[in-house]
Amino acid sequence: MQIPNIKFSHKLSNNSDLQVIDLTELRKRKDALLNPEHPHRVKFFSIIYIESGHGSHMVDFKDYAFKERSVIFVQREQIHSFDFSGKPKGKVLLFTQAFLDEVHANMRLPNYTPTHLSTQYSPLLQLEGDDQTKSATLIKQIIDEINNPLSDPLIVMYLFSTLALSFHRLRPEIKQEKLSQSMSMLFARFFELMELNYHKVRDANWYALQINTTYKTLNQVCKLATGLTAKHLIDSFTILEIKRRLVLSDTTSAQIGYDLGFEDASNFVKYFKKLTGTTPSAFSKRYKKTFL
């Protein structure tokens, strides 16, 4: 099985970089190319708001039980799958990096730095009381403004920024007030470079040189952002990609090791087992039945 890579559709969003989809509509989109309930990698960001119903949403091989008033955050490049068994109702906000860049340029917005590798990170938020009411109202206002014939993109951005800031305040595990704007940009550059080169370079010093900084500075920024060193982040990202390939493709363990620059299969197995406590083959057998 080759995992689908789903890109943002500007055709479906009327050329906007923000789209809001109803979950009921998404349930009807099962076809040969993509079944939302099957694992798929997204090239954009998602915020899934559950109005009613229940289920278990998979994000990078972990299941997160959701219910009424749950919010699920999916980062760009993550693998996830929906669970429609409990007939959940709600909304899905899809948006691109270009949309975030435009919002950042016009108003205050918490940085969408990729912190999902941190051990404290959870993509699930449970809303209560006034927080739920305010969030539902803001999402409705965003939809109304998008559908307004005289829609103003700036109003949409302000409403989105308000919603994002509200969610940010409720998620203490991802707070990054210690990161300056320059630090956030450096961390984002490091992460983007890692996405492109993890399969051939796992040396933190090399990444520091590529983004014109020192190993010490890169380490400091990584620790502030995620609690992990640059090296630990590289290893965590590499292991996550290995897990994705082991579970969601028919590529052999030996071939994956070769593709990631390991000299021989034994070194690849030792690397994986050291960081996960299990072998690639054991991990594959355990999870393939679950997700395929």
Q: Domains in the chain and their CATH numbers?
A: 5-174 (2.60.120.280), 181-291 (1.10.10.60)
Query: What does each of the 292 residues of the chain score in pLDDT, given as a tens digit?
Result: 566 778 888 887 788 899 999 999 988 876 546 789 988 888 899 999 999 999 999 998 889 999 999 999 998 888 899 999 999 999 999 999 889 888 877 776 655 555 566 656 789 999 999 999 999 999 999 999 999 999 999 999 999 999 998 998 888 656 555 677 788 778 888 988 998 899 889 999 999 999 999 999 999 998 888 888 999 999 998 998 898 888 877 888 889 999 988 888 899 999 999 999 999 988 888 766 555 5
Give pLDDT, residue 126.
95
Give pLDDT, residue 12.
79
| Burial (0-12, 13-18, 19+ Cβ within 10 Å), 206 | middle
* 3-class secondary-structure state, position 210: helix
Distance CA 8, CA 146 (A): 17
Given a contact cutoff of 8 angstroms between Cβ atoms, the answer to whether 72 and 124 are in contact is yes
Give pLDDT, residue 7.
85
Task: For residue 253, give the H/E element and its range.
Answer: helix 253-259
Task: Quote the tokens at residue 124.
Answer: 């699930």
> What sign has the CA pseudo-torsion 141, 80, 125, 27?
positive
Residues 6+ apart with CB under 8 A from 155: 145
14: left (phi over 0), alpha (psi -120 to 50) or beta: left
* 3-class secondary-structure state, position 287: helix
* 3-class secondary-structure state, position 93: strand
Give pLDDT, residue 20.
95
Distance CA 195, CA 192 (A): 5
Task: For residue 131, give the H/E element and its range.
Answer: helix 129-147
